Every structure is written in C-alpha cells, then in structure tokens.
C-alpha cells in the first residue's frame, strides 16, 4: 500500500479508465484520464503545485507570504491545499457565477474567498481579475499566481501529465482530447505527446459552442472552467499565454446540452462522477473515436469532480429550470407545447441594448409588450440569447408613462430603470411548475431552451392551460 508523507505527494499519477459503456459499438479504444482523483479533486492541483514551487524558487513567494488568485474554483482549491500545507495565507477571488459548492470547498480548505462579478468587461475596475490585482498591491508579501499567463502552468503537464499518458498507454495513444480554459493542460500535455510520438499524436480541443477559441460568437455558456467568453465591451481580447495555440490540431465544438448530459452519463453509466467540462471533453472524444479504427487509441482528460456541481448539473430541477431537461412523465402539457399552440410566440421576446437610453428603449413599442429584456450589446449573436446575458428587465408601459410625466429623463440610461427580473422557466417544465414560478406579481415568465431565452409565456396562458 502506498504511504505518503504529505497530501502533496498524492498529486498526479491518476489512473486511466476505459469508457466501455459510452464507447459501446466504437471499435477504437477510448480511455479517460481521471484527473478528479487528484487530492483536491481536479487537474488544477498539478498546475497549482508547479506554480507555488516555482514562485518559491524564484523568490516571489516567501515565508509568511500570501497567495492570491482569480479562479472559477479548481485552481483556487489546489492553491488552498498547497498554500496552507506550506504555511501561506490564501485568498481566492471567485466568479459570482461559480457553483456554490466550490466556494464551500475553498473555505473548508482554509482559503479566504472574495466573490466578484464577471459580468463586466475586463478593463472594468470591479471585474474579478482587477479585484484580485488590487489585493496583491495592497497586501505586503502577496503573490499573484496568475495561472492564465504563468509558464509553470503548462510546464506542470509537460513534466507530469503527458509522460503519464504515454507510459500508461505504452506509447499507443494516437489522439488526445481535452478542454481549453487557461490552456495549460492541453498545451503542456499535447506538447509532450506530440514530441514523444514524433508528431503523430493528434491533439483535439473540446470547446463550448460559443467560445471564441473555436470561432464562436463569444456569448455566455454553461460549462465552467473551459472556453473563452468575450464581453462585448472588452477593449482588447487578450488570450492566455498559458495556451499555446500551435499545439492544438483542431477543435470539437460542443453545445451545452451535450456537455451537461454527457457528464451525467459518465456518472450513471461509467461510475465516473465528473464535472461539466469533463462532459464536454468526453462528448468530443466520442465524436473523434467514431471516425477512427481499431489501431487508434483515444485518451480524454476528465479535469474535475462532479461533486462540485451537485446543485446544478446533477440536479434534475436545475436542468429543467434552465431548459436542458424535459419533464419525464408527460402527465400535463409543457411550456414549450403551450407556446407551440400560440401563433407568433417566437416574436414575444423583445430586447434592448444595455447601452440604450430610456426613451429609445420604449419608443415605438406596441402596447402588447409587457416586458423588455435589457441585454449585453453583442454585434453578432449566432447562438441565441443566453439567459445569463440578460442584465434586467423594464416594463415599457410604466417607463413610458414616467417619461411622459417628466419623472424620468428620456436620455437617461435604460439600465437605471430595471424592475424585478422576470422568473425563468424551462420549456420542458410542466405548465403548473411555470405558473408556480410566476408568484403574485409577474405577468409573464421568460422561457428557456438550453439556457437561452426563446420567448415569454403569460400568466393568462398558464392559467387557461391549467383550468
């Protein structure tokens, strides 16, 4: 039995598991590298250890110092474990959209957590990255790990993850599939495998469908820790230096629904409770493997544990509410079935740019419009409107009346006049659940399909369908 002197010695040397159920009927062997079996529950333990040790060698992190990082959660967890073991204070800035389990885990490991929004453009002073940079400037002896641009991030995988996969497959691996977040994992691992194979290993990036990395429109998606979201007000789109673009041969672009449901299949069919980015990677690997033969061998990297997503990806209620799952029994009509019986339902969702004035927002609107969504202004929106890019709502009748009465200046920003947000219901939810979500005040709810707003459903329609 293996005995370790420290939990840090248990980072790396994760096993490969053959995906026998998901890969049924596919002649190409498909193996998953279970990085969620690292001590902190993710592949980021490797990068965290590498960055801390390198900072110590370089004199950037000294005894009594403070580790600071901005993260979706996993890198922060790795830094918390390593930092506390080595006697450092650890402060982690986390997006307000990260799964709540990650925040709880960070605090359990002894990290101080600072929640900050990512809805702002990167140059905004309140953006997560700028919040943590101010902390570094204010705290004596603080060191910013900066996983996005830290060369010790990809170096960890060049030194450990790549050699492990090569050794575990006896040099037979022909295709390596992984998501791209900071880029460190796929860059370091891919570089090693291509070098060891004489350039024959194909490196495939698994990317959310809307991510800029693979040519998406940059709009929001629902898979944490991978991809590249681009705020429409961003002054300059700077990509991470940890991502070496020349290493990735091609991408598989995976829609959110496919990623989330594949993650659930990994758990229910393979016994691997992994997160949504693992679902994206596994979905991409299945696509790749279906095109290959018996002499090929695909390895997919599963980066983190599903235990951080029990309230989201592995919650049927959450998936139904966001439109990723349909009602299982069909005992009553769903919201989408109700809409399909209503002509013109696709035209009900009216949006206005967050940059608009109050007067422009209501000018010319028909009286039948009960609510207007105030959204991030995006020049191109090829994949629909993500619900997370709705910044708020206005009631055009009330706003128009206030302007006419002189209580509101027509040139004031529309974002100054938002009302309580409309409740969101999934298109696959039964009408009774949607009616319950409305509560006593709202006249309508926004309907979601795969996390994207497709229409509004009114109180009157729901009441009539229930009677």
Q: Give the 3-state secondary structure of 229-272.
A: CCCCCCCCCCCCCCCCHHHCCEEEEECHHHHHHHHHHHHHHHCC
Q: How far apart are CA 328 and CA 314, in angstroms?
A: 15
The token duo for 85 is: 């073991």
Dihedral angle sign, alpha carbons of residues 57, 61, 67, 71: negative
Contact 65, 142 (CB under 8 A): yes
Instruction: Provide mean pLDDT across the span 7-16.
Output: 96
What percentage of the chain reaches a pLDDT higher than 70? 100
When pLDDT is cut at 50, 70 and 90, the band that residue 117 belongs to is: confident
* Per-residue pLDDT band at 256 (split at 50, 70, 90): very high
Residue 233 pLDDT exceeds 90 = no
Please write the tens of the pLDDT for every residue from 172-197.
999 999 999 999 999 999 999 999 99
Cα angle 269, 224, 267 (rounded to 5 degrees) comes to 10
pLDDT digits (tens, 9 = 90+) for 393-445: 999 999 999 999 999 999 999 999 999 899 999 999 999 999 999 878 888 99
- Evaluate whether 127 touches 117 at the Cβ level (below 8 Å): yes
**How far is residue 125's CA from residue 449's CA, in Å, rounded to a whole number?**
33
Strands of 424-426's sheet in order across:
385-386, 452-458, 444-449, 424-426
User: What whole-number distance in Å separates Cα of residue 271 and Cα of residue 18?
Assistant: 11
31 pairs with which residues across the strands? 18, 299
Alpha helix stretches (DSSP H) within 139-183: 152-156, 162-168
Strand order in the sheet with 89-95: 112-116, 89-95, 66-71, 142-144
pTM, rounded to two decimals: 0.94
Question: Which range has highest mean pLDDT (177-181, 232-236, 334-338, 457-461)?
Answer: 177-181
**Greatest CA separation for the chain:** 79
Q: What is the 8-class DSSP label of residue 428? A: T
Dihedral over alpha carbons 56, 60, 64, 68 (to 10 degrees):
-100
What is the structure's pLDDT at 208? Answer: 98
What band does 97 get if pLDDT is binned at 50, 70 and 90?
confident
3-state SS class at 399: helix
- Active site (catalytic) residues: 44
Structural domains of the chain ordered from first start: 7-41+151-316 (3.40.50.1100), 44-144 (3.40.50.1100), 325-466 (3.10.580.10)
Whether the CB-CB separation of 43 and 68 falls below 8 Å is answered with no
Kindly report the length of the chain.
467
Quick: pLDDT tens for 135-149.
999 999 999 999 999
Average pLDDT across the chain, whole number: 94
Find out whether 187 and 247 touch, Cβ atoms under 8 Å: yes
């Amino acid at each position: 039995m293996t005995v370790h002197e420290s939990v840090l010695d248990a980072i790396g040397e994760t096993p490969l598991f053959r995906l026998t159920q998901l890969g049924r009927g596919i002649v190409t062997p498909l193996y998953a590298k279970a990085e969620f079996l690292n001590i902190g529950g993710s592949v980021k333990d490797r990068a965290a250890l590498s960055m801390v040790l390198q900072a110590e060698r370089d004199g950037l992190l000294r005894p009594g110092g403070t580790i600071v990082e901005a993260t979706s959660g996993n890198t922060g967890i790795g830094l918390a474990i390593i930092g506390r073991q080595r006697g450092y204070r650890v402060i982690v800035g986390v997006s307000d959209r990260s799964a709540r389990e990650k925040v709880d885990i960070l605090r359990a490991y002894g990290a101080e957590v600072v929640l900050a929004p990512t809805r702002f453009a990167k140059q905004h002073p309140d953006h997560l990255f700028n919040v943590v940079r101010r902390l570094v400037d204010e705290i004596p002896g603080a060191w910013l790990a900066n996983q996005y641009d830290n060369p010790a991030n990809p170096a960890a995988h060049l030194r450990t993850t790549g050699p492990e996969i090569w050794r575990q497959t006896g040099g037979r691996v022909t295709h390596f599939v992984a998501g791209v977040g900071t880029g460190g994992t796929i860059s370091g691992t891919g570089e090693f495998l291509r070098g060891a194979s004489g350039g024959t290993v194909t490196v495939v990036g698994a990317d959310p469908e809307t991510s800029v990395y693979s040519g998406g429109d940059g709009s929001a998606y629902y898979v944490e820790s991978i991809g590249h979201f681009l705020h429409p007000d961003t002054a300059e789109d700077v990509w991470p230096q940890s991502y070496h673009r020349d290493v990735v041969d091609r991408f598989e672009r995976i829609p959110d629904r496919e990623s989330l449901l594949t993650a659930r299949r990994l758990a229910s069919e393979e016994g691997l409770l992994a997160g949504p980015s693992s679902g994206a990677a596994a979905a991409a690997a299945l696509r790749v493997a279906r095109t290959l033969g018996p002499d090929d061998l695909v390895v997919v990297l599963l980066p983190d544990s599903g235990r951080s997503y029990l309230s989201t990806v592995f919650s049927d209620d959450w998936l139904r509410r966001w439109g990723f799952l349909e009602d299982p029994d069909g005992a009553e009509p769903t919201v989408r079935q109700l809409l399909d019986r209503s002509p013109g339902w696709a035209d009900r969702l009216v949006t206005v740019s967050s940059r608009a004035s109050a007067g422009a927002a209501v000018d010319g609107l028909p009286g039948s419009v009960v609510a207007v969504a105030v959204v991030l202004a995006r020049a191109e929106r090829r994949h629909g409107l993500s619900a997370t890019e709705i910044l708020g709502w206005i009631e055009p009748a009330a706003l128009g009346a206030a302007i006419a009465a002189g209580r509101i200046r027509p040139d004031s920003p529309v974002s100054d006049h938002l009302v309580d947000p409309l409740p969101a219901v999934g298109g696959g939810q039964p009408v009774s659940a949607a009616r319950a979500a409305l509560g006593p005040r709202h006249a309508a709810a926004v309907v979601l399909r795969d996390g994207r707003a497709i229409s509004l459903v009114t109180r009157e329609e729901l009441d009539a369908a229930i009677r």
